[in-house]
Amino acid sequence: MQEMSIEEFVVYFGDRYELEVKNAGIRFNHNAYIPMPLERNISVVLIDIDRIDQVLTNIIYNAIKHTPKGGSINLQFLVDGPTLVVRVRDNGSGIEGHDVPFIFDRFYKKSKSRNTSEGGSGLGLSIAKEIVDYHGGNIWAESQVGQGACISFMLPLRPPM
């Protein structure tokens, strides 16, 4: 676990996925909403950078898989009180409303007929949830079929040591 300032977090993860998304033929944008000045007691996150990278990789690769060429993925960072909220929004196929509550369950796939050659193992988002939980955060999803999905997670902010 290491301390990372909000600004370092935004720069590191904001640039991390741009090339891969664009190589998939999808527009990529990232932006941050950070109130200035920040409160002194909430300016860093304490993270395992490799595990948070794994969370974002799982979310962004799912977005790539379900967004057609020419679509878009937006990565947003938002300081909301004592938390840093990270959102990955796409304009792809979306998730059926009855599936949304289960997408973070192990081995859950929205289509039971899918086999592993056509999709993933159903573990990516459940692993992302476990990692975010370990960091004291929360993860959730919002979606409308045909209009895309937004997977968000929050991490607690803390004072620097």
Of 134, 138, 32, 155, residue with least CA distance to 84: 155
* pLDDT single digits (tens) 133-160: 999 999 999 988 888 999 999 999 998 8
Q: What is the pTM of this model?
A: 0.87
Per-residue pLDDT at 118: 45
* pLDDT single digits (tens) 95-134: 888 888 888 888 666 554 333 344 555 678 989 999 999 9
Per-residue pLDDT at 72: 96
Domains (range + CATH), the chain? 2-156 (3.30.565.10)
In 8-161, the DSSP E strands lie at: 27-33, 44-47, 72-80, 83-90, 138-144, 148-156
